[in-house]
Each structure stands twice: as structure tokens, then as C-alpha cells.
Structure 1
Amino acid sequence: MRGFLPLLTCFAILQNVRGWREFSRGRWNGGNLRLLEGDDSIIGDFENVITDWFTQYLDHSNPTDDRTWKQRYYVNDQYVSKRRDVAFLMIGGEGEASDGWMVQGAWINYAEKFNAICFQLEHRYYGESHPTADMSTENLQYLTSEQALADIAYFIQEMNVKYELSPNVKWIAFGGSYAGSLAAWVRQKYPHLVYGSMSASAPVLAKINFSEYHTVVYEDLKDTGGDKCVSAVKQAFNQVDLMTRDIAGQRKLYKLFHLCDNITESTSSSEDIVILFDTLRGHFAGIAQFNKKNGGPHNINLDTLCNIMVNDTLGPEVNRLAAVNYLMTAHRCLDCKYDTMISEMRDVSWDSEAPVGGRQWYYQTCTDFGFYQTTDRIPLDFFIKQCSDIFGPKFNLTIVERGVQRTNTLYGGLNPSVTNVIFVQGSYDPWHALGINKSTKLYPAVVIDSASHCENMYSPSVYDSEALRQARIQIEEFIGNLLKSA
């Protein structure tokens, strides 16, 4: 069996939903860039894919620290020309790297056209790339975007030698989601090593209070099901809100949404209620973010959810929301226990039962990015409390604010001083609210109408919209012009 993540359909992913464990803070368990089943291009020649390990420094900011670790990477050299003057790098993000990406995806089509050698570098602390003995808070101090960018720089220098690449080799970086930000930032910070980048669905602006996320979700619902769908969703959440305010209502919620535990008997009932709201809104957010991903005819999309929410025969709106929950959880009980979440996220072992990469991503949001998707019922204080409860009392609002300010100071937020980068967004993707959506004299930006998170990174499909097809052409032309330039 190959060493990459199982290829899952959207429906198969949703069958395993258990609240926060599967979708939290705008991130699917295992990361946001996932391989999907049903794409013919997944049938590739894995004989050309090599898995290897690179000796990396633990702390690039301290030259007196000589500790090292092994970082995983993949190579596919089947398309490279004798000149060996073009190298593509897919940057790993907030999840495990996959050798499946070495034989599929739009970047492989570009590699074949432009005769590139392909590398994929797994992000430190994710997947099998373990820099430290465990994920204790002390050890996680080396999990930063700056350290990740330095990893890329040292990796490129070594690959130039190991694979005897041309002295004039042009490296083009590819990344989606958080890795899309890294793709832009590595060109910005190391322009002598990276000649250009394709940055997809990248939230380059760090922001603590990311309420705009849900604004986009509601716009998506309105575009899909009209005012009737949006109104039904809002009414359903208002009804849930009313039911949380007394014990009788809470008992009804326990039965209606098939909760694993009765929140009336919990010592953290107020936090449990917030997790319930966060999970229920996540049903819509997760689908909006990945709606009809890769253009395929998947079983669940926004049309599915809106059809349920406007179905009067199901009773009041809260009953329809319960029907959505029933579908999304595949009949499993819904775990909303705050204490359980905190306990699992405190597990520092690499084989913990917490969501794959969950502790690491929570840490990065608490120290670098924020990205907290707040609403009236899911306040900022709730997320800050999680930072303190998981990583220690010093991780308070002041620390998060400093981290966010530092990130934007380092990279420029929505006004980066960078060239040779094409920024690609999907209009349905809530993360585009923190990304580059307009072209400037320094860089082009492409916003693909009705496209989802990182959709352009997947292999071309007969289900691609015309807007997506045109975006693919524009991206290919951009890369071609970079490689033609002096």
C-alpha cells in the first residue's frame, strides 16, 4: 500500500464527521488540500515517485544550535529535460504530505508541459516530519512560518546539488491554503532561490476576529438557495439559541441533535453550547468552503443543504437543521464536550487521538495567525480560552495580538512587496476574504467565480466551469512567461 493519505470522496469525509474533530477553525482533519477519489488522473506512474528524507536544522534563527531532524519529501523526475533547468516545488501545509500529489493535480500537467522536475516538501511538525520528541508547548516554539520558509530555502539549495540541476534552474513554488501563503512568502523572502509562485486560496492577512468568514458562507447560501435558504438557516440558529437558555430546551437539543452527552449535566455547559453552535455552523461552512470540490458530482453540496433547509414538510427550521446534522454526522452522536476537546488537544504524543495535525494548527493560530471565525454566539473569548487551556495561561489575547501583528509586519498582509506570484482565489471560498483578490502592478490576481478552496490545484476535469477553465489557462500562461523570461 502506498504511503499517501487515503483518497476520499467528499461524502466519505463527511461520514466521519464528529464535530470539532473533523472540521474546526476552517480546517478539515488532516489539512485543507486533500486528494479526491473519482479523478481519472489519479492513475499515475508511481514508479517514478521517490520518497526521501532531508536533514534539516531545528532552529534556523540560532546558528549555535546544531540540532537536526529528518524532513520528508517526494520527487518525480519523469518529465525533466536534459537541461534540468526547471524545478517545481509543492509546499506542504497544515497536513500530511501525500505521494498521490506527485502523479496528479494541475501542477503535474504544467510539469509535463514545461519539463520540470517535481518536489513536494512536507511541513515541519505535520505528517511524518517530526522535529522534536513530542509536541509539548516548549517544543512547538519551532513551529512558525519563518522556520518553515527557511526549511524550504535549505531544501532547495541541497536539491540543486543532489539532483545536479542547472546553475540557471528556475524554481516555481506551488501552494494552497496556508501553504499558498508560504508559496508567496518564500518568493518574497528568498527571491534568489524561488523564481516565481502560484499561490492558491492563501489567507495572507493574519486576523484575530475573522467574522467575514461567515459573511461569505451566507453569501454562498444565498447564491445557491436564495433568501429562503438564508432565512431558514438564520431562523434555525435563532431557535437553537432560545432552546439553550433553559434546562428543558437543552434536553430537547440533546434528543434533537443526538448529542453524545447531555449538556445540562456538564460542568462546562456554557462552553459545550458554544461548541454545539460552532459544529452546526461548521456543517454549512465546511460545505461552502469545499462546495462541489474539483467540479465533481459529489453527494453533498450547498444545494443539498439548502433543499433540506427550505423543506417545510420537515417541520420548523430547527428540525430541518437537525436533519442537516443527521446527514452530516452519518447518524453518529455529536460530541460537543469542551473538556473532551481540551483533553485531547493537550495530548503531546505524535500518535495522539486528536485530529491529525489539530494540536499543531491550533498552536499556529494562537501564535501567528488568529483566523478565529467568530459570530454573536461564538465569541472571540471562546477561542482565546482554548489557547490558554491547551497551551498554558500565558497564551492570552495579548500574545495572539502580538503574533498576528508580527506576521503582518513580516510579510505585509494584503500589500506584500513581491513579484512573479499569481494569486488565485475561489469566490465561494470563505478564506478569500483574507486573500489577494485584485491585481496590481507587482502581481496578477485571479478570482474564479463560484470556485471553492484550492479548486484550481486539482487536475482538469470535464466538470470544470468555464471560469475555472479560463483560470487554468491564465495560470499556465503566467508560468510559461516566467520560464521564458531572462
Structure 2
Amino acid sequence: MAFPLHGALLCAVAVLVVGSHRCEGRYDAFGKPDRVHVGRKGGVSEDQWFPQKLDHFNGADSRIWKQRYFVNDKFFQTGGPVFLMIGGEGPANPAWMEYGTWLTYAQKLGALCLLLEHRFYGKSHPTADLSTENLRFLSSRQALADLAHFRTAMAEARGLSKAKWVAFGGSYPGSLAAWFRLKYPHLVHASVATSAPVHASVNFPEYLEVVWRSLALEDPLCPQLVKKASDTLLELLKDPQTFDAIAKDFNLCTKLQLQTEMDSAYFLETLAGNFMDVVQYNQDNREFEGVVGTNITIGVLCGVMADASLGEPYDRYAAVARLMMDTFSVKCLEAVYSDYQRDMSNTSWDGPAAGGGRQWVYQTCTEFGFYQSTDSPNQPFGGFPLPYHVRQCADFYNVSAETLAAAVAQTNEYYGGYDIRTTRIVFPNGSIDPWHALGITRDIDANLPAIFIPGTAHCANMYPARGQDPPQLTLARDHILVLLQQWLQQ
């Protein structure tokens, strides 16, 4: 089943996989290992479990659940700092205990490395199911309180009360890293908040505007061809006589039936997601996570769109869809909104959206918005405006548009949005990444620096270095290390 959370945030420690269709976003089931070699002095480290409060803000609620975490103490030197990687909107991937730039920093600085999985994701199940009643315990505030309690208890248990803690996160966890430093400055000394959308917004048409600009950097004609193809498809969808041909062109699993505007919007968003996801993760280095499709880049998609031998732009658009299905071994495209609604409304931990889809959309409906609508004229797609996204909040969780708007405003009021005020947070962002539009891309002050990395995508600085990395990415990683060295002396 397809879960078109295109541009859902995930990057670093959790993996939402593009397949049966994700960010980071679509969700399905690449297997995650239950254990991994993490360089411990003793060899293999398995999943570890931390007793966590269900509700940190209700002293009368004493319920406890077990939260998964991982440890790498290979580089730890007495007196060194503690690095805490924050999990996000998917299963925490223990591969990050072996790979990633943060481990390079840990080796140079003698740090102990911990990774804490986010509540309600992966194996960290606080409640019996994912009912809307239980999802009220899923929020960034509860997640930050989880981090605070974990940090306090681990410091006491491991004799690290005097150690300086540094929070790391990418994407939504990047925002959590910044907010952890903001709300618990006595517990975390500094934060690296990569690709962090710290400003909540119900409507986020800027996402697709960046997609246009990122495609245009590859080929100025590319987004124009995509727009022409999208406009053609929109026109064809007005005539039911074309539906059989469209179903064949895009290899749909079932006959195309558009009974409501939600049906057409879901279909159009699913196709647009092919471009959205590739732009967000363009030329990243995620192979170590077991991610398929990293060979599909903006250049590849624009190459297909420029290939006149394939026919008109509409035909090339369909060719892109088939290329993506072949890449991810998807036999046919599922694009029926009622099926999506059914799966997203399944509250079982064994349900088709339990890998993160149901949980993350709930968080967008109750805290963040982040809806990548087609409401701007300066982007290549059409047909999935803001009401389509907002309607899902009502369909899945009975959250009204008014409640959503109030919740997003409260999020910015609580954290500060773009106007965050604290110290010792660095905000790296990539210019290709559409999420940078909601992030900090210019220095707020000397203690809240931004590192804007031209030509790089979502969370690029977090992935392991490689020979083909552009020099500006290498310089960004080095800049972060210098900041950490300076801050740990303060």
C-alpha cells in the first residue's frame, strides 16, 4: 500500500523506505536488524531497553514502558563528552552505530555514543495499539521529556554526571536536537540540528518551489517539462474516457476511479512524489542503511524528461513512474484514496501503516502541518491543494482544520520557530533540500550559526564521507567539528 508522505522528514537514524511507496516519504518494510556490531569493546551490542514514563506531564500516571536504545563505547575516553543521537519518525537504524559523520567526531573527541529511538516508532511501543486515544501520548514535548529522563538516568548509571552531552539529529530529530538544547539547557551542552524544520506551518507550498529550483539547476527545461506533463494529466483526468489509458500508462493496480477530489489528489500526489523524494535525497550516501534507489538522482529523472524518443512530456512522466516502480520492485501502482484511508486508520501495531505512517501524519495533524501543497504557481505540479492534506486529519484522527491551525500556532509559540533563542546550536542545511525553507539558513548570532551547503540535499552532512563529496560538504563537516571542539571547551 502506498503512504505518500512525500517529503516526510526522516533522514538519519530512522529509515522510511520508498518502495510500495516516503521524507523523510513512503513507508514500508526494509528489514531492520535486531542487533548490530557497534564497535563495543566486548563485540556485539544488542537492543537495549530503558524504562520510560508514559506521560511525563501527569504525576498521577505511573505507567511505564520500555524504550529501545543502542550504545557504542568504542571511542569513549574518560572525561570525554556523550553524543546522543535522537531517533525520528521511523525505526531507529542501528547501522548508525557503525557509520556516520558523528562517529568521526566521536573518535576525535573521545565521545560515548548513544541512540534513543523515538516513542511510538520502531520497537518502542508505549501503548497496546495506535488508536487516536493512545496517540495523544505521541508529541515532540513527550519525546523531549523522554530524552531528558534518559539523559539524567544514563548519566547517573554510567557515572557521567560531569560529562558534557551533545545532541545530534537530522530532519525532525534535528528540530528535536535544537529544542532539547532550548528546553533543557542544563542537560544538553550543545546540539547539531541538521536539516531541521524548526518553523511549523500548516501550508508548506515552498517545498515544491524548492523542487522546481532544484530540478532547474540540473536542466532549466526539466521543471517546465514536468509541469507540462502534470498539466496534461490534469486535463486528461477531466474525461473518464481516458481513465483506462491512464491506468495502463502508469501501471495502476486497479482501474482508475475518481469519485471524489480526494481520489484524484491522492493519485496526483503519488506521482509527484517520485520527483519530490528524489530531490530531497539527491546524491546522498545512504547505502549503508540498506536503502534502495540511491542511484536515482535528479539527473536521472531530468534525463528521462528530456528524452524526446519516449514521446510527449506526459509519456516521459509515465516513464519516470515505471522507472521508480522497477527500481523498488513494485509490480503495480496502488493509488486509491479509500485504500490509503483504510490502511492509515488501522490502529494495530501489525497494521500496514504502523511502520511510521499513521504516527507521523498524526504528528503533522497535531503539531506541525508541513503539508506540501500545490498552492503556489511557482512549482511544477497540480491537483493536491491544502484542503486535500487537511482533510486527512479529519479522516484518520477526527482532527478539524481549526484544531490543526491552533496546534501549529502553539508549536511555534512554544519553541520559537525561526526566532529560537538559546546558545550552542549549529544548523546545517542543504540548498537542494526542500526542507531548508523551514530551517535556519543564516546565522542568528555567533552562538547559533547556520551552515548552508550549496548543492547538497537532506541531511547530507550526517552521512559517511566519500571521495566524490563536493568540497563544500567536506568543509561543512569540518566546520561542525571545529564548533564542537570550541563549545566543549566552554
**Is TM-score (shorter-chain normalized) higher than 0.5?**
yes
2:114 is matched by which residue type in structure 1? F
TM-score normalised by length of structure 2: 0.89
In the alignment, what sits opposite 2:12? none
How far did residue 224 of structure 1 move?
0.6
2:250 is matched by which residue type in structure 1? F
Find the partner of 2:479 among 456, 474, 479: 474
Find the partner of 2:425 among 421, 424, 445: 421
**How far, CA to CA, are the matches of 2:349 and 2:129 in structure 1?**
6
Distance 1:365 1:106, change over 3 A: same
Does the aligned pair in 2 maintain the 1:30–1:355 contact within 8 Å?
no
Find the partner of 2:244 among 251, 255, 268: 251
Find the partner of 1:432 among 428, 436, 439: 436
- The Cα offsets for residues 98-145 of structure 1, whole Å up to 9 and x where unpaired, read as 221111100111111101111100000000001111110000001010
In the alignment, what sits opposite 1:29? 27
In the alignment, what sits opposite 1:204? 198
How far did residue 294 of structure 1 move?
2.3
Give the aligned length: 454
Q: Secondary structure at the match of 2:216?
A: helix
In the alignment, what sits opposite 2:176? 182
1:263 is matched by which residue type in structure 2? L
In the alignment, what sits opposite 1:4? none
Q: Secondary structure at the match of 2:47?
A: strand
Distance 1:43 1:65, change over 3 A: closer
Give % identity.
42
**How far, CA to CA, are the matches of 2:261 and 2:422 in structure 1?**
45
In the alignment, what sits opposite 2:226? 233
Q: Secondary structure at the match of 2:488?
A: helix
Q: Does 1:97 align with 2:96?
A: no
How far did residue 380 of structure 1 move?
1.1
How far did residue 434 of structure 1 move?
0.4
2:230 is matched by which residue type in structure 1? F
User: Counterparts of 1:331-346 in structure 2 under 5 Å?
Assistant: 332-346=331-345
User: Counterparts of 1:278-427 in structure 2 under 5 Å?
Assistant: 278-294=269-285, 298-330=294-326, 332-354=331-353, 356-375=355-374, 376-392=382-398, 395-427=399-431
In the alignment, what sits opposite 2:125? 130
In the alignment, what sits opposite 1:38? none
Q: Does 1:78 align with 2:74?
A: yes
Find the partner of 2:254 among 258, 261, 270: 261
In the alignment, what sits opposite 1:3? none
**How far, CA to CA, are the matches of 2:354 and 2:461 in structure 1?**
26
Q: Does 1:218 align with 2:212?
A: yes
Q: Secondary structure at the match of 1:401?
A: helix
**How far, CA to CA, are the matches of 1:201 and 1:285 in structure 2?**
16
Distance 1:451 1:96, change over 3 A: same
Does the aligned pair in 1 maintain the 2:16–2:26 contact within 8 Å?
no
2:263 is matched by which residue type in structure 1? D
TM-score normalised by length of structure 1: 0.90
How far did residue 259 of structure 1 move?
1.2
1:17 is matched by which residue type in structure 2? G
**How far, CA to CA, are the matches of 1:176 and 1:187 in structure 2?**
15
Does the aligned pair in 2 maintain the 1:309–1:317 contact within 8 Å?
yes
**How far, CA to CA, are the matches of 1:411 and 1:15 in structure 2?**
29
Does the aligned pair in 1 maintain the 2:19–2:26 contact within 8 Å?
no
**How far, CA to CA, are the matches of 1:235 and 1:344 in structure 2?**
32
Q: Which consecutive residues of structure 1, in runs of 5 or more, have no partner in the other structure? A: 1-12, 36-41
Q: Secondary structure at the match of 1:263?
A: coil
- The Cα offsets for residues 236-277 of structure 1, whole Å up to 9 and x where unpaired, read as 00100110001112222111111112223x6x4532211111
**How far, CA to CA, are the matches of 1:322 and 1:280 in structure 2?**
9
**How far, CA to CA, are the matches of 2:55 and 2:167 in structure 1?**
23
**How far, CA to CA, are the matches of 2:18 and 2:108 in structure 1?**
38
Does the aligned pair in 1 maintain the 2:26–2:357 contact within 8 Å?
no
**How far, CA to CA, are the matches of 1:433 and 1:345 in structure 2?**
28
In the alignment, what sits opposite 1:457? 462
2:193 is matched by which residue type in structure 1? S
In the alignment, what sits opposite 2:262? 271
**How far, CA to CA, are the matches of 2:195 and 2:25 in structure 1?**
13
How far did residue 48 of structure 1 move?
5.4
Does the aligned pair in 2 maintain the 1:196–1:420 contact within 8 Å?
yes
1:27 is matched by which residue type in structure 2? G
Find the partner of 1:113 among 90, 108, 115: 108
Which piece of structure 1 moves more, 240-249 or 288-297? 288-297
Q: Which consecutive residues of structure 2, in runs of 5 or more, have no partner in the other structure? A: 1-14, 288-292, 375-381
In the alignment, what sits opposite 1:49? 45
